Amino acid sequence: MSDAFWAYFPSLIALGVMEFTEKLKRLAERIGKAKLARAAGLPSTAVSNYLFKGQMPRADNALALARAAGVPLDWLIDEKQDWPPPKPGAVSPQGFSDEDLMREVCRRAKLEALRVSHELERLEKVNWPAFVREVAAIHPSSPLPAKLGAISHLVEAFPSIPARVQRYEPSFASHYFPDEFIAGAEGSLSTNLSADALLSRSRQLHSSAGFSQAEGVLIVRRESLSEREKEEEIGEILRELEPPPKGERSGRKSMKPR
């Protein structure tokens, strides 16, 4: 489906929690919380968390709640659509069925998981102590070479990975549309793309030797500090690393404008 289609389906985590919660509260009052939970096949505690703790459901749970309440999924999660809900059987304002919406979520889940996995694979191949020393050897006011610059962009985007992999939960996709999730334009998936697996890889990467120093040296380059202060900060970061290989110069000594 086109990007124009997705414009009508806001992501779950971007929604205002109060709008979704208020709709669900009114539906629960009309149907009964326990009955709604049973019809959706969800624990009563989970529905209580959505109602009273402001938690947002995964996409598959949101779909189950919408079907149990007899309302369109896009109405339930779209803060721009007000109460009352459309009449049962009415076509959604956007003209897409719940199945169409879920299929698009599955497609986007797969693509985002593939992107994150590819980025992690690139980062996992980096020798971080060597990267830090190479960056430290370049004057803070000078741009990084293309290769170092590409890695630095991935490092700077690294904190967004948890939100990205949790935005779409891939596990439900294989349940709803297994053929489409496993195969597609990209071919068969050869790696585990579940949110847990990707988050585990990101945690291992973050704990690898030199990664935190890589984040630190890139932050120092962006900070509004004097050149002397930047050199001192970078020198401190270099001292946190293991001693450089014999004959390799410290970045602090070779820091000259290019």
Residue 202's CB is within 10 A of a number of other CB atoms, namely: 21
pLDDT of residue 154: 92
Could you report the per-residue pLDDT of 117-127, keeping only the tens digit for each?
A: 889 999 999 99
Q: What is the per-residue pLDDT for 88?
A: 60
**Running along the chain, 258 residues long, what does each successive block of 10 average in pLDDT?**
41 46 88 89 88 80 87 78 69 62 75 87 91 87 88 91 75 48 41 79 89 89 81 83 57 43
Contacts 24+ apart (CB under 8 A), 175-182: 175/60, 176/60, 176/102, 176/103, 176/106, 177/102, 177/103, 177/106, 180/103, 180/106, 180/107, 181/106, 181/109, 181/110
Identify the pLDDT of residue 84.
77
Residue 168: the pLDDT is 66
Can you give the pLDDT at residue 18? 39
Residue type, 145: P
Which residue spans of the chain are classified as CATH 1.10.260.40? 13-77
Query: CA triplet 110, 116, 120: central angle to 5 degrees?
Result: 140
Please give the CATH superfamily to which domain 13-77 belongs.
lambda repressor-like DNA-binding domains (1.10.260.40)
pLDDT at 174: 47
Write down the pLDDT at residue 173. Answer: 47
Q: Is the pTM of this model over 0.75?
A: no
pLDDT at 1: 40
Distance, in Å, from the CA atom of 164 to the CA atom of 243, rounded to the nearest integer, reads: 36
How many Å apart are CA 209 and CA 217, to the nearest integer? 14
